[in-house]
Amino acid sequence: MSASYVLLGLLARGPRHGYELKHAYDQRLPRAKPLAFGQVYSTLSRLERDGLVTQAGQDQAGGPERTAFAITDDGRTALDRWLAEVEAPAPYVASALLSKVVVALLVADPARATAYLGAQQQAHTARMRELTRLKSEQDLTIGDLIAVDHALAHLDADLRWLQTALHRVAALHREVHS
Amino acid sequence: MRPSLLLRLALAGTRTDRLRVVLTGLTAALAAAVLLTAATVLAIVPDDPDYQVLFFDDPTMRQAVAAMLTLLCLPVLALAAQAGRVGAPARHRRLAALRLAGATPGQVTAIAAAETGVAAGLGGLLGLALFRLAQGALHRRNGAGVLWLPTDVRPGPLGLLLVLAGLPVASALLAALLLRGLHGSPLGVAARATTPAAPRMWPLLLIGLGVAVFGYLATGTVYWPDGLVVGAVGAAAVAGGLVLGMAWLSDRAGRLLHRFGRGPAALLAAGRLRADPWTGSRTVGVLIVCAVLTGTVLGLREHLGTEMVAQRLSQGLAPGAPLPWDQSRDYLFSMVKLLSAGVGGAAALAAAGLLVALLEAVAARRRAFAALTATGVTRGVLTRALLWQALAPVAAVVPAAILLGAVLARLVLPEITVTTVTGCQPADCSDLVMRSPARTLTWLVDPVDYAAASLAGLALVALLAAAAAATLRGRTDLAALRTG
Amino acid sequence: MSPILTARDLTKTFGAQPALRGVDLDLHEGEIVAVRGRSGCGKSTLLHCLSGVLRPDGGEVAFRGERIDDTSEAYRSELRRTRFGVLLQHGHLISELTSVENVALPLMLGGGSRRAALAAAGSWLARLGVAEAAEQTPGRLSGGQLQRVALARAMVTQPAVLFADEPTGALDSLAGELVMKLLTRTAREQGTTVVVVTHDATIAAYAEREIVLRDGEVDPTGLGVAIGALA
């Protein structure tokens, strides 16, 4: 599901051809499941159907891979709205969180990225507080305790990863701009 | 804070802390014995008592003996200071932990001062007991009923008070002064990396100043007793300069060793000297002062010997012929003997202090040595490194110091002239003989004596270092390597 | 109600490095606050300035409305002994005294009776579940026991504010959880305000709110890092 928004994010900087999009996706999210060409084009046609992208130009010789796509104003709005939405802090958000953070850092301007990531971190932290309070104050069964520990550990891992990502980006930024 | 708590905290300690308390007590006992002896000597009342040891018959000699004994307390003080540094880092950490627990700087200082004061007080009592025992044991009369030493005299009440009350109070105050570093933030106290300041060269200028003072004395424009005061000032300047300047010399020695040293032992020693030139440097300085004093005594001996040669030449006697008895010469010879004994005692004390310093250095760096041994550095290398570390700063300084002492003696003592007869009244030279100086004899120090003293000094330092190195463990000390 | 502990524009420099560059802080009575940030951001320094262990170079710290940053070392020692409690990562207990003596120490330093102090210490050790460690010296205790003894020492004078610097840093997760549970529970029972410095989110989760520091300043975004524009 988030694949659509990644493509929108990649298009936010400017129009690209289909094959460029596929390569850019794989490059930005190398550890994620690689996007098959077919999935790229089906996603693109869905986005076009929804009016979020439009075809910008066409090499006469080519098929979809040669077609250039561009984001529409509706597309930008949808992207912004997706970015502003906080991913619910829960264990299995891995891929959605990853995509969102990557897009936010690489696409959005610093102010919006800060706002988004700050909100995300707040949500995670608040949930961790809730779970910790649960653990401390109530008499939970051993099964519940283990489940709460599991959730806490994953949330902690998310936060730690988020911090590391931020620091990497900051270091890179210093390198690039020094 | 209740006294019981004070005592409990003061005495809470490990084996090292107990060792420090014992050493402090012992040095206090030594100081007490020395001071009591001086007080006894000063308390000899009749102007011309009769003792076998002639020092004690003459009032001026007695004053000299008392003065020398009091001066001997300075190396004892150095030894006490060195003893007080045993296990100091651990105690510092413990006191810092107390600060963190909420103890005020005053409370913490009181704890440390109490430890030192009680140890010194008990040591003083021990010293008194030993002194009395010694007096009893040495109470001997020869065939004519003359006492060997003034063992029938008791030190005056003032002396007793000074020793038994003054010692603990003074050491407690000194301990409080030395611990003023604990008055800052407890964290700064606990976490300070203690990188000591780089040593400065200015103390060596003090030495030059002292020598200049002696040079001024040599011009002969100052007379006794002012000359004594001026001489004392000069001596203090030289001694102070040496003791304080040893750190700079150690640092320089470390640099030279680093440049020219071959092999791991030399490099280890060089690094250690440059990283921490201050540890034990003051104790070594006291030893160097003893070397200067040795030089002075050697110079004095040479002076007397040359005097006798000049007298023989003036009288036209053959070398080695006996000279008529001269009381002042006899006096001076006794002085030389007294001084030699004093310098020997001071050197022994300084050597003891140096041994304590070296042992402490080895013990304090147990972890570093254990790490080195674990990586394969043999005990032989570590021993050689310790020898280098001890000898490098003093190798050139000991002979130079002895020479300096001889030079200072030369400056102060009068010229030795050979005289020739210029006229007689009456002409057969049976009554008044007029003499005038023909030439002067130069003297400084007997080369053989000088070489022997220099070698003895260096050998002493090497021996002490070897003794300290003997406490190194052959195998890796695992307990020292554990983290935390 | 006015805050129990306030800091205004705190600055502190060590050598050439500024550790704190103008920090403002308000602590309300009874709350539990976490101070987070990466290593070197100044959080420990902030704690030390707030608890009077260090004197800030600039700015002020006020406890119950009275300034404490310009008072003498002796006064701040007394304050730390009576009104503040300090818990550090490594207990800083005195290894030559037994646990119960260590806990009783702040009471005895104030001139209190030895018996009463030891009794109070004993009951605190029991309350925190380490009564069996009472007669042992710190060298024989496990990390978790040590930190609970240290917590007892911090709380024995019933302080108004408890300062904890990475209290579970040297502990495994279950030992750390126990320490934090006991810490928060006893603080709530006594009405003690708590400031916990930590870089660990699971420990910060025991607090009610969080202050994030970045490079010696409070970071309002809470991220601890400045995001710059990337090409």
Query: Quick check: C202 and A132 CB within 8 A?
Result: yes
Backbone φ and ψ of C19, nearest 5°: -90, -40
Mean pLDDT of all residues in C28-39: 91
Mean pLDDT of chain C: 88
Consecutive H or E run containing C21:
strand C17-27
Distance from CA of C188 to the nearest CA of B (A): 23
Residues in chain B where the model's pLDDT stays below 70:
1, 46-50, 52-56, 143, 145-146, 148, 182, 184-196, 222-225, 427, 473-484
CA distance C185 to chain A (A): 9
- Whether the CB-CB separation of C91 and C138 falls below 8 Å is answered with yes
Question: Quick one: pLDDT at residue C72?
Answer: 85
Q: Which residues contact B422 (CB under 8 A, 6 or more apart)?
A: B434, B435, B436
* Spatial separation of the C-alpha atoms in residues B364 and B480, rounded to whole Å: 11
Cα dihedral sign, C66-C72-C78-C79 = positive
Q: How many residues does chain A have?
A: 178
Quick check: helix, strand or coil at residue C20?
strand
Measured at the CA of B197, the angle between CA B194 and CA B200, to 5 degrees, comes to 160
Is A159's pLDDT higher than 50?
A: yes
Q: How much is the pLDDT for B168?
A: 87
pLDDT at C75 over 60: yes
Residue C222 banded pLDDT, cuts 50, 70, 90: confident
Please tell me the predicted confidence (pLDDT) of residue C155: 93
From residue B435, how far is each of B418, B420, B432, B440 by CA, in Å? 10, 5, 10, 14
Enumerate the H helices of B413-446 as residue ranges: none
Q: Looking at residue C80, what is its pLDDT?
A: 84
> Nearest Cβ partner of B14 from C78, C90, C96?
C96
- Structure tokens belonging to residue B309: 């040669």
Instruction: Determine, for residues B97 and C55 on separate chains, whether the beta-carbon distance falls below 8 Å.
Output: no
Q: Which of A118, A136, A152 sits opposite C181 (nearest CB)?
A: A136
A69's tokens = 């796509």
Q: What is the pLDDT of residue B193?
A: 45
Tell me, what's the pLDDT at C189? 93
Q: Which amino acid is at C11?
A: T
Give the list of residues 6+ apart from residue B237 with CB closer than 8 angstroms, or none.
Answer: B206, B207, B209, B210, B213
Contact at 8 Å (CB) between B210 and C79? no
Which alpha helices (H) appear in B375-442, and where do they start and end? 379-391, 397-412
Residue of B97, B105, B188 with shortest CB distance to C94: B97
Q: How far from A70 is each of A7, A61, C2, C44, CA to CA, in Å?
A: 10, 19, 57, 51
Quick one: pLDDT at residue C23?
92
Tokens of C139: 């060298």
Give the nearest chain B residue to C84 (CA atoms).
Answer: B102
Rounded Cα distance between B329 and A95, Å, is: 105
Which residue type, as a one-letter code, is found at position A49? Answer: R
Read off the tokens for B324: 């008529």
Of B14, B98, B104, the CB nearest to C74: B104
Q: Do B183 and C86 touch (CB under 8 A)?
A: no
The alpha carbon of residue B190 is apart from the nearest alpha carbon of chain C, in Å, by 10
SS3 C17: strand
Is there a contact between B418 and B310 (Cβ–Cβ < 8 Å)? yes
pLDDT grade for A126, boundaries at 50, 70 and 90: very high
Q: DSSP state, B51?
A: B
pLDDT at B484: 41
- Which residue in C201, C221, C226 is closest to A170 by CB distance? C226
Look at C227 and A166 and tell me if their CB atoms are within 8 Å: yes
Structure confidence at residue B377 (pLDDT): 77
Lowest model confidence (mean pLDDT) among B419-423, C29-33, C164-168: B419-423
Compute, in degrees rounded to 10, the torsion defined by CA atoms B90, B96, B102, B107: 80
Task: Tell the residue number behind the tokens 């609970």, with chain if given.
Answer: C148
Could you read off the pLDDT of A22-78 as tens digits, one per residue? 888 777 666 566 677 788 888 888 888 988 888 877 655 556 566 788 889 999 999
DSSP category for residue B183 = G
Angle, alpha carbons A96-A101-A107 (nearest 5°):
120
ipTM over 0.95: no
pLDDT value at residue C231: 38
Within an 8 Å CB–CB cutoff, is residue C167 touching chain B?
Answer: no
The reply to whether residue C223 touches residue A125, judged by beta carbons under 8 angstroms, is no
Q: Is C56 on the interface with B (CB under 8 A)?
A: no
Torsion region of C89: left, alpha or beta (phi above 0 gives left; psi -120 to 50 gives alpha): alpha
Residue A26 neighbours by CB under 8 Å, 6+ apart: A34, A35
Give the mutation candidate from C61, C76, C77, C147 for the B interface (greatest B CB count, under 10 A): C77
Strands ordered across the beta sheet of C5-14: C17-27, C5-14, C58-63, C66-67
C188 touches chain A (CB under 8 A): no
Cα–Cα distance, B114 to B175 (Å, whole number): 9
Q: Give the Cα separation of B16 and B27 in Å (integer).
A: 16
Check contact B-A (3+ Cβ pairs < 8 Å).
Answer: no
Banded pLDDT at C209 (limits 50, 70, 90):
very high
Terminal-to-terminal C-alpha distance of chain A: 38
d(CA B50, CA B153): 13
